[in-house]
């Protein structure tokens, strides 16, 4: 495919966070673009941007608060033209983007499942009562407590490597990590047990990489079209409509997953009390193109069942 790049060729700047996983995602994006347009890798520069969430690593995310902890600085640079596109884990992205930005290009989705990670146990059932499990995810904490109220949970922040190190040091006996992250980093040696979605429904958009751009940049829009994965787009449209209708932030335990079965979509959703004392689930099948509407309706049904204060700690 021919691409109308200005001559002499100016590199396209790809913005990303600096964690190993974020870098792997940026490199995958660069490879897909280079391949689609038969361009050398040098046509793309990867620009590492440090975000507030990267700078503050000693406090739980929910205590720092505020929207876009891991995205604001990157989006500012995108709006300012310092970068041309930004690569994100869609799981970490708010459902609404700042004025002037669009986030509607997705790479083919990786494994959506969570994995159980422990040097000593194969699965949750093997852990004796009182065992300490580390996680910084409110969803995983609540899902864990629902299944095993007898286990202890400790806050487990930091990137994938940091969390694996904490396991090794014995800060916790087990943790959960996304299969997608482990796969993208090629961490095949980490002993992991994938957990099926029936047992632990993943986060909305887990395993998906999104590429953000300026709304008025037609050249970039055209370019991104070449690497967009439509099925991933259809699944995320439903999952993110569900999340948006729930007003979900990182501070509420919500899970959601859309699977495609031919022309049909199978959409599942779950909301939990933060202490894991209760979970409400719903599921529907609908035509793929109705996914977003189905997501919003599912959110409404769950909110009605939940009633006031469901997400409050008690």
Ligand X SMILES: NCc1[nH]cc(CCC(=O)O)c1CC(=O)O
For ligand X, the binding residue among 178, 236, 294, 298 (CB under 6 A) is: 178
177 touches ligand X by CB under 6 A:
yes
For ligand X, the binding residue among 15, 53, 134, 207 (CB under 6 A) is: 207
Query: DSSP string spanning 77-133?
Result: HHHTTS-SEEEEEGGGS-SSPPTTEEEEEEPPP----EEEE-SS-SSGGGSPTT-EE
257 touches ligand X by CB under 6 A:
no
Nearer to ligand X, 30 or 184 (CB): 184
Beta bridge partners of 286: 265
Nearer to ligand X, 83 or 208 (CB): 208
Return phi, psi of residue 86, to 5°. Answer: -130, 135
Task: Please pick, among 54, 77, 92, 229, the residue that the annotation labels catalytic.
Answer: 92
For ligand X, the binding residue among 28, 54, 76, 92 (CB under 6 A) is: 92
Q: Quick check: bond before 248 cis, omega within 30?
A: no
For ligand X, the binding residue among 29, 51, 135, 206 (CB under 6 A) is: 206
In the complex, least distance from residue 180 CB atom to ligand X, rounded to whole angstroms = 4
What is d(CA 5, CA 35) in angstroms, rounded to the nearest whole number?
Answer: 15
For ligand X, the binding residue among 17, 30, 91, 113 (CB under 6 A) is: 91
Angle ∠(154,151,162) on CA atoms, nearest 5: 30
* Cβ–Cβ under 8 Å, residues 252 and 311: yes
Return phi, psi of residue 179, to 5°. Answer: -55, -40
117 touches ligand X by CB under 6 A:
no
Note if 92 is an active site residue: yes
Catalytic residues: 92
Q: Residues in the site for ligand X, rule: CB under 6 A?
A: 89, 91-92, 177-178, 180-181, 206-207
């Amino acid at each position: 495919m021919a691409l109308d790049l200005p001559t002499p060729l100016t590199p396209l700047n790809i913005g990303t966070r600096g964690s190993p996983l974020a870098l792997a995602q940026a490199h995958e994006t660069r490879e897909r673009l280079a391949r689609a347009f038969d361009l050398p890798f040098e046509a793309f520069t990867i620009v590492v941007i440090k975000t507030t969430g990267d700078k503050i690593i000693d406090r739980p995310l929910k205590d720092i608060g505020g929207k876009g902890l891991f995205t604001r600085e990157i989006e500012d640079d995108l709006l300012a033209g310092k970068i041309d596109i930004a690569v994100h884990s869609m799981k970490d992205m708010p459902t609404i983007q700042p004025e002037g930005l669009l986030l509607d290009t997705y790479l083919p989705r990786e494994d959506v499942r969570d994995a159980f990670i422990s040097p000593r146990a194969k699965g949750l059932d093997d852990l004796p009562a009182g065992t300490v499990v580390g996680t910084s995810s409110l969803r995983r904490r609540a899902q864990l407590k629902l299944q095993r109220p007898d286990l202890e949970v400790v806050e487990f922040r930091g990137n994938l490597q940091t969390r694996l190190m904490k396991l090794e040091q014995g800060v916790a006996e087990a943790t959960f990590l996304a299969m997608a992250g482990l796969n993208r980093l090629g961490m095949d040696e980490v002993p992991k047990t994938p957990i099926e979605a029936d047992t632990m429904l993943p986060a909305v958009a887990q395993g998906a990489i999104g590429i953000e751009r300026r709304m008025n940049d037609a050249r970039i829009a055209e370019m991104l079209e070449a690497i967009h994965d439509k099925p991933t787009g259809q699944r995320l449209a439903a999952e993110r409509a569900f999340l948006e209708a729930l007003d979900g932030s990182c501070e509420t335990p919500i899970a959601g997953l859309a699977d495609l079965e031919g022309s049909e979509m199978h959409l599942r959703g779950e909301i939990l009390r933060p202490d894991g004392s209760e979970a409400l689930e719903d599921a529907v099948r609908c035509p793929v193109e109705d996914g977003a509407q189905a997501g919003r309706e599912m959110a409404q049904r769950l909110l009605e069942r939940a009633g006031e204060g469901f997400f409050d700690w008690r």
